[in-house]
Structure 1
Amino acid sequence: MDTSKATTIIGCFLIHLIIGTIYSTGNIMPYIVSYLHLYSSSLTNSSMSILFYICVLSFTFSFHLAAYLTTKFSLKKSIYIGNTIFVSVLFISSFTTNPLAMIIVYGFFLGVGAGISYIPALMISLNCYPNNRGLITGVIICAFGLGSFFFNFVASFTANPNDSKPQTYEVNGGSDKFFDESVAMNVPLMFRVLGFCYMAVTILALFLIKDSELKEENNVKENVSIKSCFKSSPFYQIFFGILFSGTAGLFFVASFKTVGLQLSYDDGFLTIVGSIGSIFNGTSRIFWGILIDKTSFKTTYTCILTFQVILCLTFPLICNINYLFLIWTVIMFACLGGNYTLLPPIAIKLYGKITGVRIYAFFICSMGLASIFVYFIQLYVIKFLGYDYLFLVLSGLSLCPFISNMFFEENISQKDLQEKLV
């Protein structure tokens, strides 16, 4: 047995565990906003929800930067660069009191650091076990979903050790809920504690990882250009499908705690909801990966979309019942994990390993655009129509790719693919 492959998988798992803590933003957002509100009294929870969405946007678009860096450096060195940025952001954020500066430092650069490390860690893992792409993809990005489970408790215990409840304040002629100063002033310490934790795990992970390179494969799919891939209908079905379907899961991850606090659930309960959601977000990716290997992209995506349509339609009816709030939320976390898991295997299956990795960098950008899309939907639909209509809109957005997926052509022969792409 080649132990270097096993330790490499563990190391890459740990890297994704750390960069996956961008999902912790939804849990720590009320603390951050309460802290910034001390210095900017007009700030609201809704306006600062863009912090998470900017993080997702920069995360997905930095995949192109990651692809460039892997041409200049080894995959392992690219991980080193990405995680150095990621950890540094936490320490710099601990000294930040301006909302715009927080959006730039934490929102933008945290996503950049995560995006630079994401693809190299995944590609090193796939090189270890190239015949089990769905399973390995599921295992590695499982860690990406699990990261916030471990560190949600660290963050909440540091910032709000007494499980204090937020108070209602008047803001811009309306009202919003913020934690008082005794909780808010713990935010700098929270950032530093998380920073030291991430640094320690990163050092261990880099010690375990054995570097590798992407190698060209001699087949038809590797002989097509990126430009020609844009002429294929599957590219647009996947890109716009994820753009629409990603909105629901992203909203739940970003705003479950804000919504829960508005429904008067206590902070401790919502931290548990977020942590269990992270478990489902992470572990479900293994399930989705196996399902892709055993069935197909089309079947797996149909399952995910069916869940999303039903859950979004029914959420307003059950959200005041705490255990149903938990169940609906964690399943939506799992669906978001499924959206991410779909992309690497189908990109490689349709376009080959080398071209597929580059196309994957474009596919994942759809999730970044979805984050901005849902931010504006959230901002204006809630303002003018209310939360109930927001969930109706999210359900409708998942229904669109459900219909498109019925006509998706997945099993294209190499000859047919070449004819379609040339």
Structure 2
Amino acid sequence: MVNSLISLSASTDLFKCNCGRFADVVMIRAAFVILGGVLVHLCLGSFYVFGNLTPYVISYLRNRTDEHTLRNVDNLWIMNAANLVSPFGMVFGGVLDRRLGVRAATAIGCCIFCSGWALTYFTVQKSLVLVSLSYGALTQFGLSTAYGPPVQNASKWLPKRPALAVGLIVCGVGGGAMVFNQVITAYLNPDNLSPDFESSDGQKYFTDKGLLDRLPTLFLILAGIYAVCQIIGIAALSKPPEDEVEAKRLLNDSRSSDGQIHGLRLSVKDVLLQMIKSKNSNIVLAFTFLIQGGMVFAISLYKAYGQTFINDDHFLATVGSISSVFNSICRPLWGTIYDKFGFQIAVKFVCTLFTCLSCTIMFTETMGKYPFMLWICGLYASFCGIFSICPTTLGKLFGVDNMVITMGLFFSALSVSSLCAGFIGLNLQSVLGWHGLFVFGGSLGAIAFFVTFFFDGKDQNGKPI
């Protein structure tokens, strides 16, 4: 009997030792998976160079094509084309993830994404419409296809801290512009040239031959860089342990209220129908719609606005890069706030900060260029919270295995909002001026603040999330 107990004790110690080592291996794998997702999203986040890059694009089209009457604000057509396809790409990525797995789904999206950048080498030499199709629609379709699978996968690897997991992955998106804004400016405008032509309506454009000559090649260079980085990132992606007992033990998971770790996987149709019928999901989407709508003006036009009182192109590019740092590091921060304090506290902080900054940005015109940078950084820091808060909330409402599909409607809210703001912005700036445009954007954040009071914090079964 004594020998049996000793043997059992030794076996138990050996089991615990092996489990501990295996758990360490799993957590190391989880770290590599998250780093791989961050690297993929870092390239996807290069779409945030939009505000810095498009003044060069518009200047090129005015000078090298027949479209001599284009305005800086016309870059919103590129954004509008991107927003039209974004929800479809997200759902497509979700379907691919279910059928082919996270690696294949992400790889297909990245191939489309890089193809869009490469094709813009040709389209930028033709017309704004073709640029909108390649740099806008095709690139964004690939981006949204590759966006969701790594996010959903990360939330499975860190089931106790899902918002933090989501925030860590999407911080790559926020950091993309930090890196690639500097690449773009160093290659296109190494001499820090300012726009040297002013139109009758006060808009400024570049006409320097050397600068414009370099623009088409830039798209090929970026496509190559993105391809290399994304191949490395995709190689690091993998699925978490499938066995629930193993996953609970190795990842220290607390089971959800229905006794499942990942939840019930529903059909795409069922997920979308449940979301449409759910009051809470509609509140999340309304919050997304309003904050995104207010932020579109800053994303698309911060450089065009800054050029009206700052004659330093390198500085304005730096504004884009530094703001992207805030866009990046604040995403996991918002995820941590969400995990600790919940939806209501997190979204109200987002709304308050965004509204105050958007409604007061005009005061930076007399304060100098560094306060202008601070305001833009603050806007990105507040706005980026939606990318940690909303996907996590939808995942809790409908199950993490359905997260990529729910993000299809999340991106629909982003897209419809951007389209509305884009079409309005084409005319609103000339009517209200820059000050009125940003106050209008801030007012949308104030409306979002009050909308979130109607969120009751319960899932489809009436259980707290």
TM category (shorter chain) comes to over 0.9
Deviation at 1:274, TM superposition (A): 0.5
* Pair 165,237 (structure 1): closer, same or farther in 2 beyond 3 Å: same
Q: Deviations over 1:380-411 (max 9, x none)?
A: 2211221111122112111111111123211x
Counterpart in the other structure of 1:401: 448
Residues 281-320 of structure 1 show CA distances to partners (whole Å, capped at 9, x for unaligned) of 0000011000000101111000010011111221122234
Any conservation in 2 of the 1:145–1:281 contact (CA below 8 Å)?
A: yes
- Of 75, 82, 85, which aligns to 2:112? 85
Partner of 1:50: 77
Q: Find out whether 1:193 has 2:228 as its counterpart.
A: no
Q: Which residue of 1 is the match for residue 339 of structure 2?
A: 293
**Given residue 161 of structure 1, which amino acid in structure 2 is its aligned partner?**
P
* Residue 272 (str. 1) matches residue 301 (str. 2): no
* Residue 209 (1) aligns with residue 237 (2): yes
Alignment correspondent of 1:75? 102
Moved more, 12-21 or 386-395: 386-395
Note closer, same or farther for the CA distance 1:88–1:223 as it changes in structure 2 (3 Å cut): closer
CA drift at 1:248: 2.3
CA shift at 1:56, angstroms? 4.1
Return 109-118 or 60-69, whichever deviates more.
Answer: 60-69
1:345 pairs with 2:392 = yes
> What's the counterpart of residue 309 of structure 2?
263
The answer to whether the aligner puts 1:30 opposite 2:55 as a matched pair is yes
User: Which amino acid in the other structure matches residue 25 of structure 1?
Assistant: F
Matched residue SS, 1:230: helix
Q: Which amino acid aligns with 2:162?
A: R
Can you give the 5+ residue segments of structure 2 that lack an aligned partner in the other structure?
1-23, 245-255
Assess if the C-alpha contact under 8 Å between 1:249 and 1:335 holds in 2: no
The one-character-per-residue Cα deviations of 1:306-354 (angstroms, maximum 9, x if unpaired) are 0111112211222342111111100101122112211111011222223
- Residue in structure 2 matching 1:231, options 264, 277, 287: 277
User: What CA distance in whole angstroms lies between the structure 2 residues aligned with 1:252 and 1:372?
Assistant: 14
Residue 380 (structure 2) aligns with: 333
Tell me if the contact between 2:78 and 2:136 (Cα under 8 Å) persists in the aligned partners.
yes
* 1:363 corresponds to 2:410: yes
The alignment status of 1:41 with 2:88, answered yes or no, reads no
Deviations 1:94-143 (A, max 9, x none): 12221110000110011011111111111222222222201111111011
Corresponding residue of 2:286: 240
Cα distance between partner residues in 2 of 1:346 and 1:232 = 13
Paired-residue identity, %: 25
Task: Tell me the C-alpha RMSD between the 2 structures.
Answer: 2.2
| Alpha-carbon distance between aligned partners in 2 of 1:414 and 1:194, rounded to the nearest angstrom | 44
| 1-structure distance, mates of 2:419, 2:365 | 25
2:184 equivalent among 121, 143, 155: 155
**Do the aligned partners of residues 103 and 301 (structure 1) sit closer, same or farther apart at CA in structure 2, a change above 3 Å counting?**
same
1:222 to 248, 259, 264: 264
Specify the code of the residue in structure 1 equivalent to 2:344.
Answer: K
**For 2:152, what is the secondary structure of its paired residue?**
helix
Unmatched tracts of structure 1, length 5 or more: none
CA distance in 1, matches of 2:83, 2:178: 18
How far has the Cα of 1:358 moved from its partner?
2.2
The one-letter amino acid paired with 2:352 is T
Residues 227-253 of structure 1 deviation map (CA, whole Å, 9 limit, x = unaligned): 233222112211112111112223212
**In structure 2, C-alpha distance between the alignment counterparts of 1:63 and 1:119, rounded to whole Å:** 7
Say whether the 8 Å CA contact 2:148–2:407 is kept in structure 1: no
Residues 166 and 71 from structure 1, CA distance in 2 versus in 1: closer, same or farther, beyond 3 angstroms?
Answer: same
- Whole-angstrom CA distance in 1 between matches of 2:84 and 2:196: 31
**CA gap 1:356/1:200 in 2 versus in 1, 3 angstroms:** closer
Rg bigger for which structure? 2
1:11 aligned onto 2:36: yes
Q: CA deviation at 1:17?
A: 0.5
Cα displacement (A) at 1:357: 3.7
Check the 8 A contact 1:124/1:213 in 2, yes or no.
no
Cα distance change of structure 1 residues 50 and 287 upon mapping to structure 2, 3 Å threshold:
same
Offset of 1:198 from its aligned partner? 0.8
With structure 2 as the length reference, what TM-score do the two structures score?
0.84
- More off after superposition, 64-73 vs 221-230: 221-230
Judged with a 3 Å threshold, the aligned counterparts in structure 2 of structure 1 residues 215 and 25 are, in CA distance, closer, same or farther, namely: farther
Code of the residue aligned with 1:376 in structure 2: it is F
Q: Which amino acid aligns with 1:262?
A: T
**Runs of 4+ with >6 A deviation:** 213-218
Deviation for aligned residue 1:206:
2.2
Task: State the secondary structure of the residue aligned to 2:69.
Answer: coil
One-letter code of the match for 1:330?
Answer: C
TM-score where L is the length of structure 1: 0.92
Aligned in 2, Cα 1:355/1:120: closer, same or farther, shift over 3 Å? Answer: closer
**Is the Cα–Cα contact under 8 Å of residues 75 and 213 in structure 1 kept in the other structure?**
no
Q: CA distance change for structure 1 residues 259 and 11 in 2, over 3 Å: closer, same or farther?
A: same
1:79 and 1:349 map into 2 onto residues whose CA distance is 23
1:118 aligns with 2:147: yes
Q: Is the 8 A contact 1:57 1:111 kept in 2?
A: no
Distance of 1:209 and 1:415 partners within structure 2: 33
Q: Alpha carbons of 1:263 and 1:214: their partners in 2 closer, same or farther (altered >3 Å)?
A: farther
Deviates more, 1:201-210 or 1:53-62: 53-62
Cα distance in 2 for partners of 1:33, 1:268 equals 18
